Amino acid sequence: MNRRSSQTLLAVREARLAWIFMGPALAVLLLIATGPLLATLWESLHDHDLRLPWLGRPFVGLTNYQEAATDPRFQEALGHTLAFTLLTVSLELTLGLALALGLDSLARGRSLARLVVLLPWALPTVVAGLVWRFIFDSQSGLVNAVVGWLGVTTLQVDWLADPKAAWVPIVLGDVWKTTPFVALLLLAGLQSIDPRLFEAARLDGAGAWRRFFDITLPLLTPALSVALAFRALDAFRVFDLVYVLTGGGPGTSTEVISLYAFLVLMQDLRFGYASALSVSVFFVSFILALFYVRAARAAVVQQS
């Protein structure tokens, strides 16, 4: 046997081994993820209402999407979701950067600090939601007690029952739970910056702010964009936090699109329309995911 054919043989063998190794995982993913997603896509082209079973399940093309485009409740939920994403992600990036810089400068107690930061991130979202609901509870809540003690009684509202105020615990809960992730990502980015750069800048007489804006920030941009895209993707899909804190209420004033799609599915039992809503959520997430992959790739290129 000559050398080349033995090499192709090796390559074929390696590829075969790879497929054997990946087989079970891919089969499971196909069954429980890709399959259902395609089914949702297909379902979204049908009029399928479980409350009206005698209508059957006629093919209606893009009618469900047309309905979504003119559905005021969907538009409202979309607006809420976008505003929530914009607000939480900017807060999380700012606070996350502050936390990362702080953690980086800590001389002692680093592992305790890391524990403090990791815990909220690792907690089940429902627990995080409940903790914040307790803090903002109208009767036994800490916030109203403190506000009352300070004498600012105009702020003593029933937080979770007020259409505007209800956003405060939702945003705070999300920021509290997910900023740690941003901070840890940025911390990794910070620690990959060559300390000699700071030393050289210091010798040249650059102050702390100057060093931050001229060295830290530019070199942290890849990590920042990864964090931005990752968080935007997550924030756009927000569901359980809102579900636990307000259930979308009062009325529909805190309803986000994942929650609306869920309610159309589980309460109205309109499977076709709910599927169209879910597919819309999916497509926006998909676009955000593409940004994420590009940002991640740029970050890797810069690191190496």
By CB under 8 A, what part of segment 221-240 binds other proteins? 223, 226, 230, 233, 236-237, 239
149 CB neighbour count, 10 Å cutoff = 8
> Which lies closer to other proteins via its Cβ, residue 70 or residue 140?
140
Directed axis angle between helix 271-303 and helix 63-70, to 10°? 80
Among 83, 126, 150, 161, binds other proteins (CB under 8 A): 126
193 makes contact with other proteins (CB under 8 A): no
Evaluate whether 271 touches 294 at the Cβ level (below 8 Å): no
CA distance 120 to 214: 32
Q: For the chain, how far is it from start to end, CA to CA, in angstroms?
A: 40
Contact between 219 and other proteins (CB under 8 A)? no
Residue nearer to other proteins on the CB measure, 28 or 83: 28
One residue of 9, 35, 94, 217 binding other proteins per CB under 8 A: 35
Positions in 152-171 near other proteins (CB under 8 A): none
How far apart (Å, rounded) are the C-alpha atoms in residues 97 and 7?
50
Cβ neighbours, 10 Å, residue 239: 15
CB of 209 to other proteins, least distance (A): 10
Min dist CB 54 to other proteins, Å, is: 19
132 near other proteins, judged by CB under 8 A: yes
What is the C-alpha separation between 185 and 190, in angstroms, rounded?
A: 9
Q: Does 91 bind other proteins (CB under 8 A)?
A: no
CB of 2 to other proteins, least distance (A): 21
Q: Are 280 and 68 in contact (CB under 8 A)?
A: yes
